Structure 1
Amino acid sequence: MSPRDQRNAVVIEDDAGIRGLIAAVLERAGLRVVTAANGRDGVAAVRGSNPVVITVDMRMPGIDGIETIKRIRAISDALIVVVSAVTAAHQEDESLAAGADLYMTKPFRPRDLQKCVDERLEALRDA
């Protein structure tokens, strides 16, 4: 079984509570979840797990979400979902331009994240 078949996810979020909530949503979707509390560790986790879904926060210690997305997009075609408290339209535009696929603001509804992940996994099954 290849790493892609293992259906991995990476959660990059500095807030432990939110990181746990996102991880729980992804685990319910049947994904094996790797978490990271900052962008550098998150990029390393992506390299090591070949995920199908990645969530990224915008404001983190070390490298910010935009730079994290750019580095991830250079090595992965996984679905990147930004989950951020930043509500400025320019931040969403920057995130999408950097390579994110979807931007969700905090507080977010776990079922919306679940729906997005389910759609991605369905598309992978059909491919």
Structure 2
Amino acid sequence: MQPTEHTRTAVVIEDDDDVRDLLHTVLTGTGFRVHTAPAGLAGVEMVRRLMPDVVTLDVGLPDIDGFEVAERIRRFSTTFIVMLTARADPSDEQRGFDAGADRYLRKPFRPAELRRHIQEGTTPAEA
């Protein structure tokens, strides 16, 4: 058992201000220190610098798409990646998993659903 609790960190990579604000609110309320990036390349660098516990990742970003972002993050990190997108095609979902996403949620999503996926993915397994 550790004497001090680790502050969990999240990075939100999302170009839509309203969705980014919602994700910030949901993750902060779940106990994360949240950092946001409005584009893919900035998000990759933020993940590299902060090494967060979780990343939420939009697919449709203004510079590089979320699939490329996930692939780049996977080159240096095992962080838990939740891809959030309006794309409903099963081939996009498979592409997300192939790129390195741990979860793929379609917008609109319910905050409780996002919290559940993050809880499942970031809680250490019992020894």
Quote the residue 1:46 is aligned against: 47
Contact 1:29/1:117 (8 A) holds in 2:
no
Q: How does 1:79-90 map to 2 (within 5 A)?
A: 79-90=80-91
- Which deviations, in whole Å up to 9, do the C-alpha atoms of 1:59-85 show, x marking residues without a partner? 111110110000011111111000001
Quote the residue 1:60 is aligned against: 61
Q: Gapped runs of 5+ residues in structure 1?
A: none
Amino acid at match of 1:49: L
Amino acid at match of 1:84: T
Contact 2:56/2:81 (8 A) holds in 1:
yes
Quote the residue 1:119 is aligned against: 120
Return the index of the structure with the highest Cα Rg.
2
Identity level (%): 43
Say which SS state the counterpart of residue 18 (structure 1) adopts.
Answer: helix
Contact 1:29/1:118 (8 A) holds in 2:
no
Say which SS state the counterpart of residue 24 (structure 1) adopts.
Answer: helix
Quote the residue 2:99 is aligned against: 98
C-alpha displacement at 1:121, in angstroms?
3.4
TM-score using structure 1 length: 0.91
RMSD between aligned alpha carbons? 1.5
Q: Does 1:29 align with 2:30?
A: yes
Find runs of 4+ consecutive structure 1 residues off by over 4 angstroms. none
Quote the residue 2:75 is aligned against: 74
Contact 2:80/2:122 (8 A) holds in 1:
no
TM-score using structure 2 length: 0.91
C-alpha displacement at 1:47, in angstroms?
1.0
Amino acid at match of 2:106: T
